[in-house]
């Protein structure tokens, strides 16, 4: 089955700095790559996604880049703010019933 590795597991940045989280996957047939943000005690929320026919997608301060050849994709958050502090999960579709395989999560802390 699909294997998704996510790094780093924790990330601490100062407010205003950029943060980058990277995920690698194993199945070259995967074609959908979402990112979720989960605040403490809350549900995961979809914040951005990308499909395999696109190399980069941006939404205000967040962007996702995809390298299908290398089988990795990354989340970029610019001008970080304290409210960006959360756990971020990457995911990859498995091609069956739109099931997603999730990464292990990255705890991002934005300090003042």
Partner 1 sequence: SQTIHQWPATLVQPVGSPLSLECTVEGTSNPNLYWYRQAAGRGLQLLFYSVGIGQISSEVPQNLSASRPQDRQFILSSKKLLLSDSGFYLCAWGTYEQYFGPGTRLTVT
- Burial of 5-44, coded b for 16+ CB within 10 Å and e otherwise, reads ebeeeebebeeeeebbbbbbbebeebeebbbbbeeeeeeb
Contact between 35 and partner 1 by CB under 8 A: the answer reads no
Contact between residue 6 and residue 105 where contact means Cβ atoms under 8 Å apart = yes
Measured from the CB atom, the residue of 3 and 81 that comes closer to partner 1 is: 3
Among 84, 103, 108, 110, binds partner 1 (CB under 8 A): 103
Task: Tell me if residue 98 falls in helix, strand or coil.
Answer: coil
Contact between 73 and partner 1 by CB under 8 A: the answer reads no
Q: Which of these segments, 22-30, 59-67, 75-83, 94-102, binds partner 1 (CB under 8 A)? A: 94-102
Contact between 22 and partner 1 by CB under 8 A: the answer reads no
Residues that bind partner 1 (CB under 8 A): 32, 34, 43-46, 49, 89, 93, 97-105
């Amino acid at each position: 089955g699909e294997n998704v590795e996510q790094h780093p597991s924790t990330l601490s940045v100062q407010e205003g700095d950029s943060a980058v989280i990277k995920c690698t996957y194993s199945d070259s047939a995967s074609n959908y790559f979402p990112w979720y943000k989960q605040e403490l005690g809350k549900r995961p929320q979809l914040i951005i996604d990308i499909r395999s026919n696109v190399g980069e997608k941006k939404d205000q301060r967040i962007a996702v880049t995809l390298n299908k050849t290398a089988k990795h994709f990354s989340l970029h958050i610019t001008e970080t703010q304290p409210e960006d502090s959360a756990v971020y999960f990457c995911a990859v579709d498995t091609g069956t019933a739109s099931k997603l395989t999730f990464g292990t999560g990255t705890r991002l802390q934005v300090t003042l």
